[in-house]
Chains A and B, each alone.
Chain A
Amino acid sequence: MVTTEPAASTESTPPAESTPSAESARPAGPPPFDPELGAALTIIREAVQLDLTVETIPERRRPNPLFPPPSDQELSLGGAFEVSERQVPGPDGAPDISLLIARPVGLAAPGPAIYHIHGGGMIMGDNRQGLPMVIGWAAQLGAAVVSVEYRLAPETPHPGPVEDCYAGLVWTAAHADELNIDPGRIVVAGGSAGGGLAAAVALLARDRGGPALFGQFLMCPMLDDRNDTPSAVQMAGLGVWDHASNEVGWTALLGDQRGALDVSPYAAPARATDLSGLPPTFIDVGSAETFRDEAVSYATRIWQAGGVAELHVWPGGFHGFQVMVPQAAVSQDATAAQWDWFRRLLA
């Protein structure tokens, strides 16, 4: 049974930088969704429309009853974690930022930490989104979780969001003693826009001589503002985050600089020309989503730069399939692969 597709065997996706020609300009039809994911998608699409525009951002930020935010009580896993919100200094000249801190109770020695950055296309979401899964892992690893509430685009364009994320990381590393965290074992983690921001934070930490990260965990990361890979084109109008939604998200962050020649790698990590010197990296993505090719390319370029990366491309997965349809067989396998990576890295 094929569960992951090695990057080298993607015969249907020419490299993004290949010369456009009549043959390669139009990718073939989209890969089919996994049967279980496709069936669930029809229900999900009733709640998640592909009609995102700059105007509908406020509406999309309203709480979705399908995905309620977890309470402190839920996040404490029955008292295993002490959960608090803490205001810490933001970037120079910017407001304080809020960190949700979940610390394992009764840990004798300092443990690892997962520094979590939520997703939401750069324009929505909050620092509780996606946390139950992360705290579930942390509970088995004796790890603390710190989840940053960064300012969102378009109200706060680049570099506000990524600088907020970075400031929270710097504060966390500097207060490791107080938090009972081993500052040498901090893993930055995020999904979707959070994955893109996590990758950008890792680049910043490398380039500014900031906290030495122990790993970067990038779930279906949003890395490339150019929005022109074969998968971005191929999946237009399909799934839950398509070419048009992606354009709205990046434009909110970068304005008319989206797709320009000199976009910063700290905004769009796919723009980085140097991917050496990064911590061990986990990347996963679905074969049937906008971000497939940029995620595969990022892992490939880390290897080419002599780095350590683990890449999973789940066949027939749409964006966020594993979170939205956790019970599907392919989602269970994707979750198991994520947990395995954390366990090998930290346990």
Chain B
Amino acid sequence: MNATLAIAGATFGEAIRKRILMVILLAALVIILISPAFEPFAGRGQRTLILSFGFGIIQLAGTFIAIIMCTGLIPTEIERRTIYTILSKPVQRWNFVVGKYLGAVSTLAFVYVMMGMVFMIVSRISLGEFDPKIAQGLIMFFFQSSLLAAVTLFFSTFVSPLVNYFLSGGVFLMGNLMSSFLETIQRNPEVTPLTRIPIQILTVILPNFANFNIQNPIINPEQVLTDEFAYLVQTVLYAIVYIVLLLVASVLVFNQREM
């Protein structure tokens, strides 16, 4: 465990010094800070504007940071030969993969805490109230990004970073759209089973990223999540189980990999 944590610490230390990640974080923070200034141009209420803007920016920044950070986690270590000095020590490959993932998730946690703090301060000042549900929404987006990081890490065990950008981005898009697409198809009686079944299978296989987006009930208090607590717990558990499965798959692929 010591080795896993040492690798996680080194990954975190390196990630928070990556210029591209910090530029994305900084840009997100600036946009959140100036979001109240857009009120005159928006046709919506102040609450809707501030919250939807903030959540949107945070989700976008979290998504980009997760993908950009994780595509290079393993290929870069191989290219720079750092991995050889690590794997020649008493470090199993699973230590390396899990350590890399924990380092990536720590970075995401850091990024979400920074963005979340600024978002909550801005919403408190602009709206004159603090809605604790904003924190719930942020936590759900954090789990969404952590799941996306696991998907990207899995792909990084066997594809190049460039291919990984498209694969992970594609999985994220499809994972956000598949469930609503399936609902539309199921409501349409003209769709044949030949079309419906593959989409159903794909919906089961691909991680459902849409479930983590609970910003609508937060922005519009009249929309209520039925059995909110159970929904949140289920969604978080879904993320954890999916992440564990992806890490197991990553370790299995990486164990066979020759570098």
Partners in one complex: no
Residues of chain A whose beta carbon lies under 8 Å from any beta carbon of chain B: none
Residues of chain B whose beta carbon lies under 8 Å from any beta carbon of chain A: none
